[in-house]
Amino acid sequence: SGARVRRAQNKRLPQYLERGVDVKFSDVAGLGKIRLELEEIVKFFTHGEMYRRRGVRIPGGILLCGPPGVGKTLLAKAVAGEAGVNFFSISASQFVEIYVGVGASRVRALYQEARENAPSVVFIDELDAVGRERGLIKGSGGQERDATLNQLLVCLDGFEGRGNVITIASTNRPDILDPALVRPGRFDRKIFIPKPGLIGRMEILQVHARKKPMAEDVDYMAVASMTDGMVGAELANIVEVAAISMIREGRTEITTDDLLQAAQIEERGMLDKKDRSPETWKQVAINEAAMAVVAVNFPDLRNIEFVTIAPRAGRELGYVRMKMDHIKFKEGMLSRQSLLDHITVQLAPRAADELWFGEDQLSTIWAETADNARSAARMFVLGGLSEKHHGLSNFWVSDRINEIDSEALRIVNVCYERAKEILQKNRKLMDAVVDELVERKSLTKQEFFGLVELHGSVKPMPPSI
């Protein structure tokens, strides 16, 4: 009957094939050297014969490791797109079924399709869902997963070295994968894709801006520096959201402002995902506001790019981005005064905690910055900048550790008092910055300096050291 014919035809239609994948390396930005490794994988397809003749082993599987949204899927598609081969994909969480045997049969079907339509890339998303070390999950769910994993190993081995079906898998947890998966001939090549840095973020924004009507003078760098910690998926979203506000306001071009506002929306979306108690938000805000308010008095440190208490991956607190001359700082070429100012800024969170919450409430929120202050103070003494210890660096330092430490401590104490004094004199500004931070989570350079202008900022006396 007709139904049977249709079913028979459906059977031949590959289920896992993604049609019309037309991604190129130029669609993936901010890759740097990783691109070379991926270009080589493309060559396994296009120059497979050459590799085989020269006895180069073509890997069966490549593992793309990195956090969500950095472009692992996009890259796998770009490999297929550049090589001009078919792209098959499945999310490993689809393998994990409660019925024994379902996952394994899906793996078999996937690879059968890929082979019938070779050359092809098989992409397995979230490999760790199925590839966790065996025996870690107890019960029938674990059994099913083991059966699926075993099937996957069999399929990987079937293609080893042939170069006409290459498996690319993504994971954020390469460390928990079953050792059998990463044995030679299987996923024996790992490529790490980190979160993009400043330049990477700018390039990603530009790639997504290519298809949009952008104003000519868009400042991508400004947007990139506002989006620290964000990944490609979030940056792509920012461009989309900016386009929507352009349309909504009946304009024809996307401006820097559209992008900056979209960045704030994206950031707030990130914030909503992370809940802190109102007290914690306030405490973090005081911590960051204190650094900014103290820094604004110092010529070398007042170049504040933004102030934020937005939680970021890998950072519990927010931060103040100051453009200090890091090279000078590393090489000890900062002036004596700038170094003292730097120490004072690093102690501001500690001082603010004491002023706002009292001695006995002192938390550890400022532990990291207080550490920075201590090591900068030692550097100050060792560099012979402290008047009492001119030329100290000419002596055997180890003999004088106590002396150095006590002098460093003295400097820390002087700077600490100075930080406290600045905060007390600028209480109005502090309160305003803290309120704004709690309310909006991030302040741009303009917003911060707007508050400084509104409330004024009282400069301290230079310290006597």
Q: Which residues carry out catalysis? A: 288
Number of CB atoms found within 10 A of residue 430's CB: 26
Q: Is 384 left (phi over 0), alpha (psi -120 to 50) or beta?
A: left
- From the list 1-9, 67-75, 393-401, 431-439, the region that binds ligand ADP by CB under 6 A is 67-75
Q: Which of 17, 56, 74, 438 forms a contact with ligand ADP (CB under 6 A)?
A: 74
Residue 30 binding ligand ADP, by CB under 6 A: yes
Q: Residue 408, SS3?
A: helix
Cβ-proximal residues to 431 (8 Å cutoff; 6+ apart), any chain: none
Binding-site size, ligand ADP (CB under 6 A): 16
Q: Which string of DSSP letters, residue by residue, matches 67-95?
A: -TTSSHHHHHHHHHHHHT-EEEEEEHHHH
By beta-carbon proximity to ligand ADP, the closer residue of 28 and 292 is 28
DSSP secondary-structure letter at 462?
Answer: P
By beta-carbon proximity to ligand ADP, the closer residue of 65 and 295 is 65
By beta-carbon proximity to ligand ADP, the closer residue of 223 and 422 is 223
We find the least distance from the C-beta atom of residue 106 to ligand ADP, in angstroms, to be 20
We find the least distance from the C-beta atom of residue 209 to ligand ADP, in angstroms, to be 11
- From the list 25-33, 156-164, 256-264, 361-369, the region that binds ligand ADP by CB under 6 A is 25-33
We find the least distance from the C-beta atom of residue 232 to ligand ADP, in angstroms, to be 2
| Packed helices 102-116 and 139-159: angle between N→C axes, nearest 10 degrees | 20
| Residue 364 dihedral angles phi and psi, to the nearest 5° | -110, 15
Q: Are 61 and 111 in contact (CB under 8 A)?
A: no
| Residue 315: both structure tokens together | 């950072």
We find the least distance from the C-beta atom of residue 185 to ligand ADP, in angstroms, to be 25
Q: For the chain, what is the radius of gyration of the CA atoms?
A: 28
We find the least distance from the C-beta atom of residue 181 to ligand ADP, in angstroms, to be 19
Dist. CA 375–CA 304, nearest whole Å: 22
Q: Which of 14, 59, 60, 71 forms a contact with ligand ADP (CB under 6 A)?
A: 71
By beta-carbon proximity to ligand ADP, the closer residue of 171 and 283 is 171
- From the list 4-12, 27-35, 396-404, 409-417, the region that binds ligand ADP by CB under 6 A is 27-35
We find the least distance from the C-beta atom of residue 328 to ligand ADP, in angstroms, to be 32
Dist. CA 314–CA 344, nearest whole Å: 25
Q: Residue 62, SS3?
A: strand
Residue 69 binding ligand ADP, by CB under 6 A: yes
| Packed helices 427-440 and 401-425: angle between N→C axes, nearest 10 degrees | 90
From edge to edge, which strands make up the β-sheet containing 120-125?
17-18, 86-91, 120-125, 165-171, 61-65, 187-192
By beta-carbon proximity to ligand ADP, the closer residue of 178 and 234 is 234
Residue 448 carries which side chain, given as an amino acid letter?
F
We find the least distance from the C-beta atom of residue 261 to ligand ADP, in angstroms, to be 20
| Residue 428 dihedral angles phi and psi, to the nearest 5° | -60, -45
String marking each residue 147-186 x if it binds ligand ADP according to CB under 6 A: -----------------------x----------------
Dist. CA 398–CA 411, nearest whole Å: 20
By beta-carbon proximity to ligand ADP, the closer residue of 30 and 60 is 30
Window 214 to 253, contacts with ligand ADP (CB under 6 A): 232-233, 236
By beta-carbon proximity to ligand ADP, the closer residue of 187 and 356 is 187
Q: Which residues bind ligand ADP (CB under 6 A)?
A: 28-30, 68-74, 170, 204, 207, 232-233, 236
